[in-house]
C-alpha cells in the first residue's frame, strides 16, 4: 500500500505492507527521521511523541494510515536551527542528561504551547517519562515559556 504523508512540511510517499504499521517505524525506518525514539511501545513513556496537526501524539501506536492528510512534525521539523522557544529553554537550562527522551519531551511541550499553555501550566499537559530524572530542569525550562 502506498501512502503520501506530510512530514515536516514535505510530502513523502511511503510503501507499507499494512496501514496499521505504527507511524514511529515509518518515520524512523522508511523516512530516516531517527530523532523520534522508541521507548515502551505502549504509549506510556512518550519518547515517540510527534505533533499531528499541532497536537502531541504517541507515534508508537498511531497507525500510519491515520496520518494521511494530516501535518506531522518530528523533532527534526520543530526548527532548523534550535530556535523554537522550547529548544532555547532546554539549552538555557541544560535540561538533557542522557537525552533519550528529550525529543519526545520537547514535542509534548511544543504541543502544550500550541494549545495555549504557558509557564508552569505546560507541565500539566506533559506526561512523558524521563528515566534520568531531569524533571527539575524540565520544570525550570517550562516555567520560562
- Quick one: which H or E segment has residue 15? strand 10-15
Distance CA 50, CA 37 (A): 10
CATH assignment, 85-143:
1.10.150.120
CB 112 within 8 A of CB 54: no
CB 111 within 8 A of CB 54: yes
pLDDT of the residue at 99: 87
pLDDT of the residue at 109: 97
Which class in CATH covers the domain with range 2-75? Answer: alpha beta
CATH 1.10.150.120-classified regions of the chain: 85-143
Q: Going residue by residue through the chain, which has 145 residues, state the pLDDT in tens, using 9 for 90 and above.
A: 999 999 999 999 999 999 999 999 999 999 999 999 999 999 999 999 999 999 999 999 999 999 999 999 999 999 999 999 999 999 999 998 888 999 999 999 999 999 999 999 999 999 999 988 899 999 999 999 9
CATH 3.10.20.30-classified regions of the chain: 2-75
pLDDT of the residue at 69: 98
Q: Model's pTM, two decimal places?
A: 0.95
CB 112 within 8 A of CB 104: no
Amino acid at each position: 500500500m502506498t501512502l503520501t504523508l506530510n512530514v515536516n512540511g514535505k510530502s513523502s510517499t511511503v510503501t507499507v505492507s499494512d496501514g496499521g504499521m505504527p507511524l514511529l517505524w515509518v518515520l524512523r525506518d522508511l523516512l530516516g527521521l531517527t530523532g523520534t525514539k522508541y521507548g515502551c511501545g505502549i504509549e506510556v513513556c512518550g519518547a515517540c511523541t510527534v505533533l499531528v496537526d499541532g497536537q502531541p501524539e504517541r507515534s508508537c501506536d498511531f497507525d500510519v494510515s491515520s496520518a494521511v492528510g494530516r501535518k506531522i512534525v518530528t523533532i527534526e521539523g520543530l526548527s532548523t536551527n534550535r530556535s523554537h522557544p522550547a529548544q532555547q529553554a532546554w539549552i538555557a537550562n541544560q535540561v538533557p542528561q542522557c537525552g533519550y527522551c528529550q525529543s519526545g519531551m520537547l514535542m509534548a511541550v511544543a504541543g502544550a504551547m500550541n494549545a495555549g499553555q504557558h509557564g508552569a501550566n505546560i507541565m500539566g499537559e506533559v506526561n512523558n517519562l524521563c528515566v534520568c530524572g531531569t524533571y527539575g530542569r524540565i520544570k525550570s525550562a517550562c516555567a520560562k515559556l
